[in-house]
Amino acid sequence: MHRSVVVLLVFNVVVSTLIVLSSHHWFTVWFGLEMNTLSILPMLAYQYTPRSVESTVKYFLVQSFSAAIILNVALIQAWFYTSWSVYTPLNIFTSTVLTLALALKLGLFPCHYWFPDVIQGLGFLQGLILSTWQKVAPYILLGYIVSSLNGFVFVLVSVLSVVVGAWGGLNQTQFRKILAFSSISHIGWIGSVMFYSVSVSLVMFVVYIILNSGIFLLGHELGLSSLSSLGRLVYLNSTSGFCLILGVLSLGGLPPLMGFLTKFLALECLISNGVFIISGILVVGSLISLFFYLRIAFNSILILFPQHSLVMFVWRSVNFYEVNLSVVSILLGILLSISIFGLVCFPFLVSFI
């Protein structure tokens, strides 16, 4: 694919998100979502392998189905209330259907099955786009209509996403699938808090993008495919291994890293609203997901991986100490620095609430 075509597609993806951000009409919101989906498809199939094409087709079908549901909800709203405004109150039926449609776009339970399989079939950079930027437009739409949604259904879907994301990542050995289930769990945290405070959920969403971007870029730079590829990482490249350990622990929410501060803000918001049972379930789900984060950190410091000792010969052929100051490496350093020094950023985050 020519570089100018890639630039044009990236420009369309950004513009389509801005259309959803600035529009209050259901048709323009649907148009922005469809433009976003159609622009990202050639970028997902950039490598043009059978596995990437399969993941691209799956992503297209899922996003088209959810966008069709959103358009039908908009038609029902226009039929009953003669208004195309996003801020028009939703009834029980349209609220429930729209919640499931946005759950399908965001990869929330019970519509999360497509997300890990699609992420596994793509590269790290494409997976980074799906896990971060492609969730911005549905999140914006969710923020517009959160006051009109069925609170019980929305919070239930979000809380179960945290539990399912934590439980699903326990038995995974592929690095990208672990990050996919981690994304499901984090979006569940953000959705659970959004119903009670949009500002706190916005801070959590921004921090989630920063943490996830750092881990995906680090996986891309090191070529991490599975947990066995983490063997001898610290021994051959101590800086990258140390950054990976701190990054995944920050994603898991260990204090005093950045991920812990966002979950602390979320629990403070939920407890102040008297939601004690949901807070307990979220904490349990976070502790379950912390198990596979610790497994990544533990495998990263092994000199010899127990099941795949031959991986040491693969690492010998890679020059890890070569200094390459590219845009990706500079961005990676900035993102990992922010994710590690969480206490320094805490006053800055609280100022947005």
- Summarize pLDDT for 194-238 with one digit per residue, the tens: 988 888 999 899 889 988 888 888 888 888 888 877 766 766 666
Report the alpha-carbon distance of residue 300 to residue 235 in Å, rounded: 9
pLDDT for 326 equals 59
For residue 136, is pLDDT > 90?
yes
For residue 138, is the peptide bond before it cis, meaning its omega torsion is within 30 degrees of 0?
Answer: no
Angle at 253 between CA 196 and CA 337, to 5 degrees: 110
pLDDT for 230 equals 76
Any idea which of 95-104, 193-202, 215-224, 313-322 has the lowest mean pLDDT? Answer: 313-322
Please name the residue that has the structure tokens 């399969």: 54
What residues does 261 pair with on adjacent strands? none
pLDDT for 50 equals 86
Most confidently predicted of 24-33, 257-266, 293-302: 24-33
pLDDT for 236 equals 63
What's the mean pLDDT in 4-23?
89
In a 3-state reduction of DSSP, which class is residue 116? helix
> Angle at which helices 198-222 and 327-340 pack, to 10 degrees?
130
Report the alpha-carbon distance of residue 217 to residue 59 in Å, rounded: 22
Q: Name 323's Cβ contacts closer than 8 Å, sequence gap at least 6.
A: none
What residues does 174 pair with on adjacent strands? 226
Measuring CA to CA, which residue among 168, 320, 336 is closest to residue 243? 336
What's the mean pLDDT in 171-176?
86
Any idea which of 19-28, 104-113, 133-142, 292-301 has the lowest mean pLDDT? Answer: 292-301
Phi, psi of 149 (to 5 degrees): -75, 160
Among residues of the chain, what percentage have pLDDT more than 90?
A: 28
In a 3-state reduction of DSSP, which class is residue 209? helix
What's the mean pLDDT in 56-78?
91
What's the mean pLDDT in 271-285?
90
Helices (H) and strands (E) in the chain, counts: 17, 0
For residue 73, is pLDDT > 80?
yes
For residue 330, is pLDDT > 80?
no
Residue 310 φ/ψ region, left for φ over 0, alpha for ψ in the -120 to 50 degree band, beta for the rest? alpha
pLDDT for 152 equals 84
For residue 315, is pLDDT > 50?
no
Mean pLDDT for the chain overall:
82
Among residues of the chain, what percentage have pLDDT more than 70?
A: 83
Extents of the domains making up the chain: 3-350
pLDDT 10s digits, 38-54? 999 988 888 788 888 99
pLDDT for 4 equals 84
Name the percent of the chain in helix, strand, coil, to the closest 5: 75, 0, 20
Q: What is the pTM of this model?
A: 0.87
pLDDT for 33 equals 92
Name the band, by pLDDT with cuts 50, 70 and 90, for residue 18: very high
